[in-house]
Amino acid sequence: MKKILLIAASALSLASLTVHAQATDPHAVPQAADAEFSPTGKSYNVDFGDQQFRLDFKSARQMVFTSPDGKNSATVDINVTPIGNDVYMIYWSRRPGQYVVHVDDFRNGVAYTNIFLPDGKSSRRRGTLVEVK
């Protein structure tokens, strides 16, 4: 009888572990909290040569994107993944079918962008990232 109870208890424990493992994705990356995202409340000019933008980080979940002439401005929801040493991967979409992924190194002032457009074209650039004082 003890063996049957032990086997039943082991089976229940294994089932519980299996359900828990399915509920949590070990490869999922949590989004940064405001306290972890050093650019929160700051503004940065980004210069990719032929493209310049101002990024105003309201929080680790929202940013205002503005063109240099101020005519093109949008508040976008962002997803921020901390990489380390003030380096973050930041994702947003300004309009349906357009996706932007930055890897921004705020410590060294370097920005990398990958922009995917609705027509299937893409753009990859490296540029500067300067805090607006």
Q: Which tens digits make up the pLDDT trace of 59-100?
A: 999 999 999 998 889 999 999 999 989 999 999 998 899 999
Compute CA distances 97 → 70, 88, 116, 121, whole Å: 23, 23, 8, 11
Tell me whether residue 25 is in a domain.
no
| 42 assigned to some structural domain | yes
Overall number of domains in the chain: 1
| Percent of the chain's residues with pLDDT above 90 | 63
**pLDDT attached to residue 99:** 95
CA distances from 10 to 2, 91, 130 (A): 12, 43, 58
Is position 45 within any domain? Answer: yes
Could you tell me where the DSSP H helices lie in the chain? 2-23
Residue 19 lies in a domain: no
The CA-based diameter of the chain, rounded to the nearest angstrom, is 80
Average pLDDT for residues 19-29, to the nearest whole number? 63
What is the band of 32 on the pLDDT scale with cuts at 50, 70, 90?
Answer: confident
Q: Is residue 102 part of a domain?
A: yes
Q: Confidence band (pLDDT; 50, 70, 90) for 31?
A: confident
Residue 29 maps to a domain: no
CATH number of 124's domain: 2.40.128.20
Please tell me the pTM assigned to this model. Answer: 0.76
- Looking at residue 44, its pLDDT comes to 97
Residue 95 lies in a domain: yes
Place of tokens 């700051």: 42
- Say if 17 falls within a structural domain: no
pLDDT at 19 over 80: no
Residue-range definition of the domain harbouring residue 48: 34-131
| pLDDT number for residue 23 | 57
The pLDDT value recorded for residue 34 is 62
d(CA 59, CA 51) in angstroms, rounded, equals 24
Q: Regarding predicted confidence, which is higher, 94 or 122?
A: 122
Could you tell me the pLDDT band of residue 36, with boundaries at 50, 70 and 90? confident
